[in-house]
Structure 1
Amino acid sequence: MPALLRTIARRAAPVLRSPFPVLRANMYSKPPKENIGVVETSVGLGVFTLTILGPSGWILAHLEDYKKKE
């Protein structure tokens, strides 16, 4: 157990001491294996639009029904 704590402390100490954390990004320079076509892009954008705007549009369309207290 003490060895585990020493390992964690060794890795965490430089991060905790520095005022600015070191940011590392994974960069890849290869082209994609497969190109994404127009159909796939359109379907993806359509699904995201429906997922994000669908529920809010439903609520706004039925706002008068929600206002009624029965």
Structure 2
Amino acid sequence: MDYKKIADDVAQKILSYSQDTSGWKVAKSTKDITVSWKPSNEYPGNIYRGEGILLEIPEKVIPYVSGQI
């Protein structure tokens, strides 16, 4: 199994969601974070995305985002 290709395909799909600006509806919003959703084109149900700004240096944030902690 070509795990590199699978990972690259998943990364590309996630990037396409973040660049897609159409059809998203706000599910919840605070002063720091917005969670949006829209129907999935790939499976029954919805996809969700969270957006926010983290006021911290990358060295402290990246381990949490990458699952290293």
Pair member with larger Rg: 1
Which is strand-richer, 1 or 2?
A: 2
Which is helix-richer, 1 or 2?
A: 1
Higher relative contact order at CA 8 Å, sep ≥6: structure 1 or structure 2?
2
